[in-house]
Amino acid sequence: MVFETATGTMQAGTARPDGDVDRANRLTTILTAEERAGLRPFKLNAAGGIDLTNGMVQFGGVASHLGLYTGTGFLDLSILSIFGTLEAANGDTLNFVASFSGLIDPITATFTFAGGTGRFVDAVGSASGPVTFNPDFTFLISTRGALDY
């Protein structure tokens, strides 16, 4: 790929005469790679709990592309769904709706992702997996899926 930079015409991946790679060259290469990325494998593991007095759900764990994260949401029992946000350590957020199938074991959660902030502003994707639900309203979730951002 050849393009114009502030220092002249360059071939992608080449260095300037002083040996440094032009900043515009690096940015163009990075953006091109991100645009080609498409759907990426996504895993989410979580442990958390539900406060039935107000419908609030809080959980945390490790997820692909977020690292350590915290999740908060609101449980709508009328449609068995949670509407919420995952927040990465750097503050970027990923919006989700989690729906559930099965009222007793096995329970399956399906997270649908749509937008957020930072690198997830245009994110779309989904992930599904089993839920272990405990009598004290705590839970464990392990999902697998794909995310495009």
Sorted by sequence, the CB contacts under 8 Å of residue 61 that are 6+ apart come out as: 44, 45, 46, 47, 68, 69, 71
Top-confidence residue, 64 or 77? 64
Q: What's the rounded Cα separation, in Å, for the pair 94 and 85?
A: 6
- pTM comes to 0.74
* Boundaries of every domain in the chain: 2-37, 40-148
Phi/psi zone of residue 139: left (φ > 0), alpha (ψ -120 to 50 degrees), beta?
beta
7-65 pLDDT per residue, tens = 454 444 444 455 544 444 444 444 444 455 688 999 999 999 999 999 999 999 999 99
What is residue 106's predicted lDDT score, i.e. its pLDDT?
Answer: 85
CB atoms within 10 A of CB 47: 12
Pair of tokens at residue 96: 């989700």
Residue 107 CB-density burial (10 A; 0-12 exposed, 13-18 middle, 19+ buried): middle
User: Buried (b) or exposed (e) across 7-42, using 16+ Cβ within 10 A?
Assistant: eeebeeeeeeeeeeebeebeebeeeeeeeeeeeeeb
Asked if the model's pLDDT at residue 87 lies above 70, the reply is: yes
